[in-house]
Amino acid sequence: MAIGQQDRQINKTHQQNTLSFLVNRQRAWVEIDLTALAHNVKTLKNFIQPQTKLMAVVKADAYGHGAVAVAQTALTNGADCLAIATLPEGVELRQAGINAPILILGAINAVEDIQAIAAWQLEPTICNLEQALVFDRTLASLGKSLPVHLKLDTGMSRLGTNWQDANSFVSLVKSLSNLKIASIYSHFSTADESDRTTMNLQHQRFQNAITQLKDGGYIPPQIHLANSAATLCDRSCHYDIVRVGLALYGLYPAPHLRNSIELKPVLQVKAKIAQVKIIPSGEGVSYGRKFITKKDTKIAVVGIGYADGIPRNLSNHLQAIVGGKLVDQIGSITMDQLMLDVDHIPDLRSGDIVTLIGQQNDLSISAEDWANTLNTISWEILCSFKHRLPRIYI
């Protein structure tokens, strides 16, 4: 074996031993596959035009995946810049030594927060004229200037200046010597829907606003509009930057987008069996006796519950993978534990691993499965896993 191959094998063995050590210490955990994340970043980068930048959205602790590790992996594998929602999220990344451009998607208004943005060299979103003036005055007192991103509201009815007022908005910001316009952007409200009517209307409004600016003699340095769904469904929305969140983590914003590119889920949720026991026929399981056994039944008590982010409303609707087979969750999910019907699984014991989200052999359970059962969205599921669950990176 060549020396390089020996080194790689030693490193792989060390990683496997470290993973085993970490898992052995936990009752439950979230497993993050950085190789899958790297695949998704590279796939997305290849999907967009070479001149289009990939902005990795790592807000909300990278949708529960761990912001620092995700940001580092994304940047290493082709992402050009990052987006977060709050000031502390940006500070966390800077403290970790990340020097890439970081856009704050949320609105900042307080003077002390603006001072911190300048100190940490973050790039804020400017939503309206009042906010722009506060930024300019604060930065003037510091003797500093900042790159800023101007947000237009084209129909999301959230942050941003109305698209029809783009000319006056941009003109004022241009006149403020301490603000340097880095981009102008907007956000879709329905890009994940198969009906493109509203999306097309918003796109047209954005184009109209940019055209008006150009007709007035101003050419924006960068413009961006596409989230994950728009990135996958409409290349005409790519412009200078695409802001990719959910797709980065290997999930599709909608079923009709599955065939656009091949993504790999990054996150798995696993826990250990705490006890295996037989309960008699007619016995209730968990609080409220929402499940009554119809026969003597072998159950597994698993050390994970709603305090870890398992929605209680999934009680009696959840499945898990144990020993390479699907099993049903029974009874009410409790704060720290849940119960599984493992009557058809032989040779189970405490310490055996249960997969709640993830894949074993040909079986898989996804965050989308949970979201469909709960009539919610996969974004919410990913962001729900609490920090009591350690993130283990592989």
Residues known to be catalytic: 59, 287
- Residue 277's CB: how many other CB atoms inside 10 A? 10
Instruction: Give the integer Cα–Cα distance in Å for 30 and 222.
Output: 37
CA distances from 97 to 59, 78, 91, 92, 120 (A): 17, 18, 10, 9, 11
Annotated ligand binding at 312? The verdict is no
Instruction: Give the integer Cα–Cα distance in Å for 41 and 305.
Output: 32
Annotated ligand binding at 156? The verdict is no
Instruction: Give the integer Cα–Cα distance in Å for 331 and 329.
Output: 7
Amino acid letter, 381: I
DSSP string covering 191-222, please? Answer: TTSS--HHHHHHHHHHHHHHHHHHHTT---S-
Distance from chain centroid for Cα 180: 29
- Tokens representing 218 are 């101003």
294 CB burial (10 A radius; 0-12, 13-18, 19+): exposed
Amino acid letter, 285: V
Half-sphere exposure of 93 (CA within 13 A, CB side): 36
Contact 350, 272 (CB under 8 A): yes
Instruction: Give the integer Cα–Cα distance in Å for 293 and 134.
Output: 64
Binding residues, as ranges, are 158, 335
Binding residues for substrate, as ranges, are 158, 335
